[in-house]
Homo-oligomer: A and B are copies of this chain.
Amino acid sequence: MNTMTVEATMHALGAQARSASHRMAVASTHEKALALRALARLLREQSASLQADNAKDVERAIASGLAAPMVDRLRLTDKALETAAQGCEQLADMPDVIGEIIGLRQRPSGIRVGQMRVPLGVFGMIYESRPNVTIEAASLAIKSGNACILRGGSEAIESNKALAALVRQALQHAGLPQDGVQLVPTTERAAVGYLITMPEYVDVVIPRGGRGLIERISREAKVPVIKHLDGICHTYVDDPCDLAQAVVIADNAKTQKYSPCNATETLLVARGVAAAFLPQIARVYADKGVEMRVTDEAAPLVQIAGAHVVPATEQDWHTEYLAPIISIKLVAGLDEAIAHINTYGSHHTDAIITTDHRHAQRFLREVDSASVMVNASTRFADGFEYGLGAEIGISTDKFHARGPVGVEGLTSLKYVVLGDGEIRQ
């Protein structure tokens, strides 16, 4: 495909998405459920054929020397397909928020004013290897009444084409326009450039991937972007706190999984509890092979048999390790902890472990992050855990949507005015 053809292709996709979006926006709850259940059924019925298409991607990836963990992320296993199917069914069962009117109240003029939740229109989704994102994005588009244009990674193109074909079948089955969900058919990089610069067709773009991709898209986009940048998350162990709880949470927040963005990267410890707390958590981290990068002051408290202790540098407070490494710092108390988090954090997810009510309230209010937690693991920052049904991404922005983005993040509120002949005086 030459550049001209890519441009023409993207404009055609855009125009078709915009046109389909009007019908998607007024789809009934029943029609949307019908489409989602049909999609779940097709994913199960067609699993053999899907896996045959997926095998082409996997073979090509192996032949091209892609690293094994990346190849694994490509695979549409039975389990991955079943999870995707269940996700569609869960969404079908959730309440439909589209069209709901909130806050309707009477005004002195006689009119009643409220706000109706409506879809944004068309969203563009740009993502990398995992083909199941195709189903997550498509199912959220259907539930939220949006049209979408999906741009998956080139390494998953055969899998994504097969999945997108099923989505279109499901839409047709429910009497909804097939163009409600479209996959960019070309792997040319230029396609992304068009997708993010067509405000006449695309209302918001959601990139999922590495920092480089997201920064480039944010810089070049002519439409709003829901950005998910770093997760430099903190757990602050306050004085006073329940020490046993602090150990369990600090363990889970770091070690339950190392790669997610909501894993804790920095542990802040109030001086008053450091001598009691640090040796205990150091024992846990040492046993699990977690490297501790600590300030001079904290070092003696974590130097136990088997511990891997390294002096922390300024750079550590800025670093998202996504690995068995944690930075540790002592602080005077709540004020210093909040200041550290607001300075070095990435406004993603931060937790306090405390038994002091006022400390908890101040932490919730004053830490400027998308998710703020009391006595819980930062690993909970997730659309499923929050009850959003599904998650299209996690926003580290403040504008429009913050934190895990589900159906509501793909909607906006318009004003509704109900009158009976009222006029402005």
Measuring CB to CB, which residues of chain A are less than 8 angstroms from any residue of chain B?
A: 22, 25-26, 99, 105, 107, 109, 111, 113, 116, 118, 120-121, 203-204, 224, 242, 245, 248-249, 251-253, 256, 342, 351, 364-366, 368-377, 379-381, 385-387, 398-400, 402-404, 412-424
Contact = CB atoms under 8 A, between A and B. Distances in A.
Nearest to A374: B418
A58 to B, nearest CB: 30
Report the copy number of this chain in the oligomer: 2
A262 to B, nearest CB: 9
Contacts of A113: 385-387
B256 A204 contact: no
A379 B424 contact: yes
A242 B121 CA distance: 33
B385 A111 contact: yes
Nearest to A399: B224
A121 B347 CA distance: 13
A386 B415 contact: yes
B370 A424 contact: no
A398 B249 contact: no
Given A107-B385, A203-B398, A242 B421 contact: yes
22 contacts: A25-B366, A26-B366, A107-B385, A107-B387, A109-B385, A111-B376, A116-B372, A118-B368, A121-B368, A203-B399, A245-B420, A252-B423, A253-B423, A370-B415, A373-B417, A374-B418, A376-B418, A376-B421, A376-B422, A402-B413, A403-B414, A403-B415
A386 to B, nearest CB: 5
A417 B374 contact: yes
A402 B415 contact: yes
